[in-house]
Amino acid sequence: MASALPENWLDYLADHPLFQSTEASKTSQPAEERTRVLALRDHDLLVAVGSHIRTINLNDVKDAWLKAANEKLKGKADQQNVDKSWLYDIPYKALETPEINFTISTLTVNPSGRFLAVTGEHQVVIVVLPRHGLSSEAERISRKQRVVCNTLTVGQTIYDGEKKISVLKVAWHPLSETQSHILILGDDSRLRMFDISADIEAPEQVFDLAPSQRKHDASPLQGIVVTDELDADEEAVSFSIGGPSKDDSGWESFTVYYALRSGHMYALCPVLPLKSTVRRQHLESLSCIAYAKINYAEEKAKKDNEDDPVDIYLYRLQYQWIHDMLESAKKARKEHATLIDGESVSVRSNMCSIPHQIQRQGPFKITQDEDQIMEEGAWVSDMVHIRSKPVDILAVAFSNGTVRNYVLGSGIDAQWLMPNDTTQPWKRELREFLSLAEVLPKATLHEIYDFSLPELKNKQPVQLLSDPKYPDTFYAYHAAGVHTVIMKEWLEKLRKIDALYQQDGQTERGRDALASLNDDEGSKVRCLINSAPFKGGYAPMVGLVVLHDLYLSRCLLGLSHPSSLVSLELGIHRDLAADDTSTLASAVADQLKNITSDQRTANAIDSDYQCMLPLPPFETPSTLKGLQGLPNQPRIVVPSTMAGSKEVVITEESLLFLSDATAKVQRDIKALAQTASSIKKRIGLQEDEFKRQVHALKELYQRVEKYHSTASEREQRIRETAQTHAQLALRADALMRQLLKRYQPGISAHEKAWMEKLENIQKVVEGEHGYAWRLEKLRTEVEQLQSKQLKQRQPPVVTEIKRTSTLTSSQVESIKNTLENQSQLLESTRQRMKKLEKAIQST
């Protein structure tokens, strides 16, 4: 009997004791709760079970699986039964955190992997994780282990005080220099930024997002103050940060997008920690853009003989803010010269000279059809900002099981709120300008996805997760399972149209290309996990992570209530750049250009080689191409009310489910069979073409043999050449190794300084007006003096002798001795420089 080998280590991970739920966690999970109880820290998987945090190293799991698989292949293990003892022998660790005595809602790891943010209904606790990971060979003594971790309770008097403020969402700011700034949104519509390395009680910045009519009794806060009138029930419920700083980033990296319960979207810019790390090229690019806008506005006003436009005041403020950030970076560079590399700078946002508060931008002006209006009673459950080219996207999830994709039509830039009682005209004009509807940010509703269960209505919030590798992909998990949304196709088409329109935007070709983007071309949506296969029963997903690792592969791990892990291996996208695609197409066209008879003359048909492969070139069948590297059948999660040892009840609904699943499998098998048949036919053609090419090459080889030496002589020469080459390669490697042992492969800083010093000495000795030149000049003067002395020793020919020399004989003799000594020193210096040059050439 064939042995049952473990085909994938992910299939066994769900059986590990790590995912055994406690009695407290087995209580019913309301579908309307927003949870995220899975997190990844390098190769450590963190799981929240009730008020406890467990962790396991995924590398250990795969290592043990490989060992068990090898033993089965070698016949050392039981071939009849699937042994899971290797899995149970892998220990998991429990983090000992006494301050966490509440039911955990979310786990969020900071970018450095040092801090873990644990949130409850009214609590935010930071767990300080071990610096060197949570797995070590020396500690694998027992299956269960405990790791004592330090904890920090953030804003305890704020969230768990008298008012009992609920925590809605937390996120670590990616621009934090210390990786310790966390943003916390409470149900009081206040977004607080804490620096846990400085103060865990008082927030560093506070942004009040509530309607203005509820602020009459509120104390002044650092940050922004909203002045527009909103309904009392429109409270901020979710937010998303614009992303890290990159060389080609805009203002979105300094932007916080947030949504109200009603679905209205807003933006704040600029928002960044007091100590931030930003790419230098990013700030310089923004500075150049702001300066260009100012110049353009000034030149246009001057050309039209008009006063400066109102928007020029905003551009000047933006330019001033960027200038202040660059100046703060210079100061920080002097204080900590070794902390930041040359490509990034450390900025201090509190060194801004603009005394005004940040302007809230919004609500976004949404372009949508009448039938796309949001359902009444639904509220925003999550949102994520997706940075892509050429447009940015805001994906907003709702409590009715739907997700809306908004394409941002205009970039967000920095804006400040001008005071009401200002006496300066330009501030009044700028305030009126920023309050116009034309200035509001714009977005277009591109598509809507519906993942809802009819019986839950508005009590099935959706949570979103961006793919860590591919920015055009995100995941949505909810009460009915997990779906993936792939926007690659229409974004790629939009990129091509954008490039064409920018090149020929004012021509018919550019306008036609822009109009060719059909509205019905949406994203590819695939169901990866189905946790509601039967009507009336569902297992809500409470956590989701996506792992992308060279050793562990690319996989998705989802957790359903109460504590059931579902794993799924994801494929890796094969992306071809535009240049690569065009190069490949031109190469194929060049190779197959003589296939059709109408492209060749009768003489060419007789003389040229005819390829059997038809045009167009072979492409991946649509059946396989549409899979996007994902499985065609979703993983089924049976609800806890129907799983386990409960009696199986055959109903019409269960039979219908089995019938539909069977029919889908049959359709997939039929489609795969057709695809396999077409691929097999293509492979047969390529095999025949390969044989013909081999035969043609053989004929060419025989023709070449007539004009060259015999095969044996040629092979002997090839062997001798290869042997000589191998010997030379070995000698080169040996010499390189000896050189690397004795000398550095490059010139050190001391050697560079030494060589510069030698060059300076050479210039002093042999350069213009150097010692050599002076020596020659002195020699000439000595010769002149000696000739004059000889003349003086001759008998006088006149009665009076006019003395022209001012030097005595003793002085001349002294100068001569000095010159001879300097000449000897100069010759010695030249000899030393020649030796140094030889030594440098030899190294």
Rounded to an integer, what distance in angstroms lies between the CA atom of residue 392 and that of residue 386?
Answer: 6
Let me know: does 230 contact 214? Beta carbons within 8 Å.
no
pLDDT at 640: 62
Write the pLDDT tens digit of every residue in 520-536.
568 889 899 988 887 77
- Rounded to 5 degrees, φ, ψ at 432 are -65, -35
Q: How far is CA 692 from CA 33, 475, 518, in A?
A: 66, 49, 45
Strand duo 360-361 + 442-450: pairing: unpaired
Tokens of 629: 């590297």
| 174: preceding bond cis by omega (within 30 degrees) | no
pLDDT category, 709, cuts 50, 70, 90? low
Rounded to an integer, what distance in angstroms lies between the CA atom of residue 115 and that of residue 172?
Answer: 10
Which residues on neighbouring strands pair with residue 635, listed in sequence order? 529
Rounded to an integer, what distance in angstroms lies between the CA atom of residue 87 and that of residue 83?
Answer: 9
pLDDT at 54: 93
Which residues on neighbouring strands pair with residue 392, listed in sequence order? none
Comparing C-alpha atoms, which of 35, 169, 19, 37 is closest to residue 478?
35
- The average pLDDT across 379-408 equals 92
Residue 297 has pLDDT above 80, yes or no: yes
Helix (H, G, I), strand (E, B) or coil at 394: strand
Rounded to an integer, what distance in angstroms lies between the CA atom of residue 108 and that of residue 38?
Answer: 9
pLDDT at 597: 41
**CB neighbours of residue 324 within 10 Å:** 18
pLDDT category, 321, cuts 50, 70, 90? very high
Q: Which residues contact residue 806 at a Cβ distance below 8 angstroms, ignoring those fewer than 6 apart?
A: none
Tokens of 343: 């490509």
Residue position matching structure tokens 């030097």:
807
Residue 837's Cβ-side half-sphere holds a number of Cα atoms within 13 Å equal to 8
Least confident of 114-118, 528-532, 713-717: 713-717
Helix (H, G, I), strand (E, B) or coil at 360: strand
Residue 430 has pLDDT above 80, yes or no: yes
Which residues on neighbouring strands pair with residue 53, listed in sequence order? 48, 95
Average pLDDT, rounded, for the chain = 80
Residue 301's Cβ-side half-sphere holds a number of Cα atoms within 13 Å equal to 13
Residue 104 has pLDDT above 90, yes or no: yes
Tokens of 163: 């008012």
pLDDT at 596: 45
pLDDT at 780: 85
Residue 23 has pLDDT above 60, yes or no: no
Q: Which residues contact residue 378 at a Cβ distance below 8 angstroms, ignoring those fewer than 6 apart?
A: 263, 398, 399, 400, 402, 458
pLDDT at 138: 42
pLDDT at 682: 85
Percentage, residues of the chain above pLDDT 90: 29
Say what angle helices 311-335 and 280-303 make with each other, to 10 degrees. Answer: 150
- The average pLDDT across 386-402 equals 91
Higher pLDDT, 516 or 94: 94
Least confident of 29-43, 126-140, 215-229, 328-342: 215-229
pLDDT at 409: 83
pTM as predicted: 0.74
Residue 183 has pLDDT above 90, yes or no: yes
Least confident of 49-53, 260-264, 573-577: 573-577
DSSP states along 789-800: HHHHHSPPSSS-
Write the pLDDT tens digit of every residue in 61-73.
988 888 888 887 7
Q: Which residues contact residue 637 at a Cβ distance below 8 angstroms, ignoring those fewer than 6 apart?
A: 481, 529, 530, 531, 533, 539, 560, 564, 566
- The average pLDDT across 271-283 equals 93
Q: In what order do the strands lie in the sheet with 463-466?
A: 463-466, 473-478, 481-486, 524-530, 635-636
- The average pLDDT across 774-802 equals 70
Least confident of 226-230, 492-496, 559-563, 783-787: 226-230
Higher pLDDT, 272 or 164: 272
> Cα 528 to chain center, whole Å?
24
Tokens of 24: 């407290």
Rounded to an integer, what distance in angstroms lies between the CA atom of residue 449 and that of residue 523?
Answer: 9
Higher pLDDT, 350 or 839: 350
**What are the domain boundaries of the chain?**
1-102+131-150, 278-356, 578-627+647-705
Residue 739 has pLDDT above 60, yes or no: yes
- The average pLDDT across 103-108 equals 94
Residue 663 has pLDDT above 50, yes or no: yes
- The average pLDDT across 354-379 equals 84
pLDDT at 799: 42
Angle 760-766-770 from CA coordinates, rounded to 5°: 85
pLDDT at 614: 73
Rounded to an integer, what distance in angstroms lies between the CA atom of residue 637 and that of residue 629?
Answer: 21
Write the pLDDT tens digit of every residue in 301-312.
888 777 778 889
- The average pLDDT across 244-266 equals 92
Rounded to an integer, what distance in angstroms lies between the CA atom of residue 657 and that of residue 532?
Answer: 11
Maximum distance among all Cα pairs of the chain, rounded to whole angstroms: 151
Let me know: does 92 contact 144? Beta carbons within 8 Å.
yes
- The average pLDDT across 725-738 equals 80
Q: How far is CA 127 from CA 7, 132, 148, 152, 547, in A?
A: 36, 15, 10, 7, 22
Write the pLDDT tens digit of every residue in 445-456.
999 999 988 888
Q: Which residues contact residue 668 at a Cβ distance below 8 angstroms, ignoring those fewer than 6 apart?
A: 632, 633
- Rounded to 5 degrees, φ, ψ at 26 are -85, 0
pLDDT at 574: 62
Rounded to an integer, what distance in angstroms lies between the CA atom of residue 564 and that of residue 562?
Answer: 6
Higher pLDDT, 792 or 675: 675
Q: Helices (H), strands (E): how many in the chain?
A: 17, 34
Write the pLDDT tens digit of every residue in 5-15.
456 788 888 88
Tokens of 341: 């590399």
Tokens of 696: 């043609």
> Cα 619 to chain center, whole Å?
30
Residue 734 has pLDDT above 50, yes or no: yes
pLDDT at 225: 41
Rounded to an integer, what distance in angstroms lies between the CA atom of residue 34 and that of residue 381?
Answer: 8
Residue 593 has pLDDT above 70, yes or no: no
pLDDT at 117: 96
pLDDT category, 602, cuts 50, 70, 90? very low
Angle 191-193-196 from CA coordinates, rounded to 5°: 145
**CB neighbours of residue 34 within 10 Å:** 18
- Decide: residue 457, CB within 10 A, 0-12 exposed, 13-18 middle, 19+ buried: middle
